[in-house]
Amino acid sequence: MKVSPSILSADFANLAAECEKVIEAGADMLHIDVMDGVFVPNISLGLPVIKSLRKASDAFFDVHLMIQKPQLYAKQFCEAGADLVSFHVESDCDILRTIDIIKSCGKKAGLVIKPQTPTSRIYPYIDKVDLILVMSVEPGFGGQRFMPVAVDKIARVSGKARQLGLDNLMIEVDGGINDRSAVMCKYAGANVLVAGSYVFGSEDPARAIKKLKA
C-alpha cells in the first residue's frame, strides 16, 4: 500500500516544509490537485506552484488534473515537474491523445472517474495507463465524507486489471480516506491511498501514514 497525501490540506504558507514533513514521515508521493473552477466548482494551485515546489522537493509528484481541457495543459504540467499526470474521463478531451502527450514526456499517465461514472468508461483505456484513480467524493473540495459506492468501483477496476494481467496497475482512491475507509479500499483492491486532512491535520503524520499502510 502506498500513501499519497493531498497537499490541498497542507499549510500553504509553509508548503515546502509541509511536503517535506510528510515525505519524511513515510509518504510515498505527493498528491497535487489542480482545479480550474470550470470542471469543478473550485480553484486551486497551478503551474507556477508546482514549478516552485519541484525546486524544493525531489518527491514523486502525483498530479491530478480536475480541469475541463487537460489535453491543452498536460505537457505543461509534465514540464513543470509532475511525475504522473492523471485526468478525468469525463473531461473534454481526446483521451488517447492526452495519454500519448503525457507518455511522450516520459511521465506516467492516469485516468480518473467520478463517483457516479460507471467503471466501463475507463475499460477501453485501462491497459494504456499506469494508474486508475477512483474518486470516493465529488471532486472539488477536501474534507468530504467517504462515499461507500467507491468500494464497488474499486473492486470492479481491480477485477478488470486481474483479468487483463495488469499486475503493475496502480489503483488509487481519493476522498474521505482515514484508517477505517482505508481498510475497505484495501480489500476491494486499491493499492494507493490519497489522504489529505487525515495526514496533514494529524499531530503525528508518521503515525497516520503508518496506520494507512497497515
Residues labelled as active-site residues: 33, 174
N-term to C-term CA, the chain: 8
User: Which residues lie across from 175 on neighbouring strands?
Assistant: none
Residue with cell 473552477: 37
CB atoms within 10 A of CB 185: 25
The DSSP string of 169-206 is -EEEEESS--TTHHHHHHHHT--EEEESHHHHT-S-HH
The side-by-side arrangement of strands in the sheet containing 30-35 is 2-5, 192-195, 170-174, 131-135, 108-113, 84-88, 61-66, 30-35
